[in-house]
Amino acid sequence: MMNIYNPSNEQLLKSIQEDSAQSLQDKLHQLRQGQIQWEQKAVADRLECILKFGELVQENIDDLARILTSETGKPIQQSYNEIRGAHNRVEHLKNNAEKWLADNVIEGLEGTYEKIMHEPLGVVANISAWNFPYNVGYNVFLYALVAGNSVAYKPSEFAALTGLAITDLLYKAGIPKDVFQCIVGDGTIGQAMLEADFEGYFFTGSYPTGLHILKEVSPKMVPVQLELGGKDPLYIMDDVKEVKVAAINAAEGAFYNNGQSCCAVERIYVHEKIYNEFVEYFLEEVEGYVIGDPVSEKTFIGSLTRKGQLNLLRNQVNDATSKGAKLLLGGDELAGKGNFFAPTILTEVNHEMLVMKEESFGPIIGIQKVNNDEEAIALMKDTEYGLTAAVFATAQQRAEKVLKAMNTGTVYWNCCDRVSPNVPWSGRNKSGVGATLSSQGIRAFTQPKAYHWREV
């Protein structure tokens, strides 16, 4: 049995039955059978189940938000935001899936025709993260299902109750049990999924696990997509309209969901002309955050989901201060039960420090002064990751010059830490391979078949 604990008070929430290597094989067998019929259905019929699922999620939002908060420590208001926000994927599929999955016919010369057919991959593995289980889950399993695949969905052990609640609602919405299965367990069952025969692997999680998956499954010669971590930079130019507004937005980008977002602002560079003013406003904003019980609607900073992260953050603080950084706020975990780490601001940082180089994935930020755009570009690019990069500035041309230099899947001008289904979500370098969302995100779950024919 797997015990699920509440990370904010360490109480046992539930013990649930994990999958074994044998039950995984049984589920895979079922999914293989089910996929054959599922693929034959019209896209509109498959979509109908997804739309119904979307309705059921909204009807059950109070229970779902409570479950999500209880097992991850996410502040309740942010759980509601996530569940409501993720619905835009359902709407996006409703408006586009039939168009994207339709055959494309090309008329050639002298009675010849060609056609691109978008066939499903088959049975796909969806190994997922706990930090935004609705967003990152929907990005894979909703799109995969609409495209005609069956899905083995492994939520993280830290979001397993949410994964099971989602599974229940998918079944209620009409998705057959032999088309979608939740695989319950930790990395051990994840590993067993790598050894099983899936026709595609879609992973959201850390770079080390992603790399391991890539190495393990590459001999299978099936599509592998990896949505991994980041060390996303934000540069505040000296021409921002209001430094205070920039500071408030930057703080939200860094501390929303306790910094546990793949596209959280992980490091900030500020032009020296506005540096002092920016830091003052930033500090004032973060000092105002309500920290505490995630169930309270007033809470902005809840507990971290994983206990192990406390050590990583403490290490980053100690490393930075030992190399000359100034600790403006926080710096350690909070006394008492639960995985609480104080929102932490470090200034006088540089790229010798872990906090500016390694993913923090927590409520901690380094703010570095820069003298000009060239220096900012060089520092922003000094990373092995490539998920997002942002600039706050008034002059569009100047901002775009910086953004053009970024080797990242996403760039932001005067916004940050956001994902939209209309555009692809992808990382470069250690932030991953492949894309979800947009038309690319549905085609990712298909394989093209080229059909040539001649009228006789």
Whose Cβ is closer to ligand NDP: residue 399's or residue 442's? 442
- 255 and 300 Cβ atoms separated by less than 8 Å: yes
Task: Give the whole-angstrom CA distance, residue 401 versus residue 388.
Answer: 15
Task: Give the whole-angstrom CA distance, residue 332 versus residue 347.
Answer: 16
Number of residues that bind ligand NDP (CB under 6 A): 32
Q: How far is the CB of 360 from ligand NDP (least distance, A)?
A: 10
The residue range among 59-67, 226-234, 339-347, 396-404 that interacts with ligand NDP, by the rule CB under 6 A, is 226-234
**Interaction between residue 205 and ligand NDP (CB under 6 A):** yes
Among 173, 187, 273, 405, which residue sits at the site for ligand NDP (rule: CB under 6 A)?
Answer: 187
The residue range among 66-74, 124-132, 142-150, 442-450 that interacts with ligand NDP, by the rule CB under 6 A, is 124-132
Q: How far is the CB of 244 from ligand NDP (least distance, A)?
A: 29
Among 131, 149, 150, 181, which residue sits at the site for ligand NDP (rule: CB under 6 A)?
Answer: 131
The residue range among 26-34, 70-78, 128-136, 349-357 that interacts with ligand NDP, by the rule CB under 6 A, is 128-136
Question: Binding pattern to ligand NDP, positions 411-440, x when CB under 6 A?
Answer: ----------------x----x--------
Question: Binding pattern to ligand NDP, positions 376-395, x when CB under 6 A?
Answer: -----------x--------
Task: Give the whole-angstrom CA distance, residue 127 versus residue 184.
Answer: 11
Task: Give the whole-angstrom CA distance, residue 259 versus residue 304.
Answer: 9
- 425 and 202 Cβ atoms separated by less than 8 Å: no
Measured CA distances, 394 to 233, 239, 362, 380 (Å)? 18, 6, 29, 19
Q: At what angle do helices 160-172 and 133-146 cross, to 10 degrees?
A: 40
- Which 3-state string (H, E, C) describes 318-351? HHHHHCCCEEEECCCECCCCCCCECCEEEECCCC
36: nearest Cα among 149, 145, 125, 151: 149
**Interaction between residue 136 and ligand NDP (CB under 6 A):** yes
Q: How far is the CB of 4 from ligand NDP (least distance, A)?
A: 11
Return the bridge partners of 154, or none. Answer: 127
Whose Cβ is closer to ligand NDP: residue 141's or residue 281's? 141
Q: Which residue is nearest to ligand NDP (CB)?
A: 190
- Cα angle 86-309-201, degrees, rounded to a multiple of 5: 50
The residue range among 9-17, 90-98, 228-236, 249-257 that interacts with ligand NDP, by the rule CB under 6 A, is 228-236
**Interaction between residue 130 and ligand NDP (CB under 6 A):** yes
Residue 278 makes CB contacts below 8 A (sequence gap 6+) with 236, 243, 246, 247, 250, 270, 367
Task: Give the whole-angstrom CA distance, residue 392 versus residue 244.
Answer: 12
Question: Binding pattern to ligand NDP, positions 37-56, x when CB under 6 A?
Answer: --------------------
Helix (H) or strand (E) holding 446: strand 446-454
The residue range among 63-71, 122-130, 279-287, 314-322 that interacts with ligand NDP, by the rule CB under 6 A, is 122-130
Among 8, 128, 339, 408, which residue sits at the site for ligand NDP (rule: CB under 6 A)?
Answer: 128
Task: Give the whole-angstrom CA distance, residue 250 versus residue 268.
Answer: 8
Whose Cβ is closer to ligand NDP: residue 294's or residue 427's? 427
The residue range among 50-58, 87-95, 222-230, 241-249 that interacts with ligand NDP, by the rule CB under 6 A, is 222-230
Catalytically annotated residues: 227, 262
Q: How far is the CB of 19 from ligand NDP (least distance, A)?
A: 11
In the range 230-259, which residues lie near ligand NDP by CB under 6 A?
A: 230
68: nearest Cα among 309, 308, 295: 295
How many residues can be counted in the chain?
Answer: 456
Residue for token digits 């939002």? 61
Among 25, 88, 96, 191, which residue sits at the site for ligand NDP (rule: CB under 6 A)?
Answer: 191
Which residues contribute to the site for ligand NDP (CB under 6 A)?
Answer: 127-132, 136, 154, 156-158, 186-187, 190-191, 194, 204-206, 209, 212-213, 227-230, 262, 359, 361, 387, 427, 432
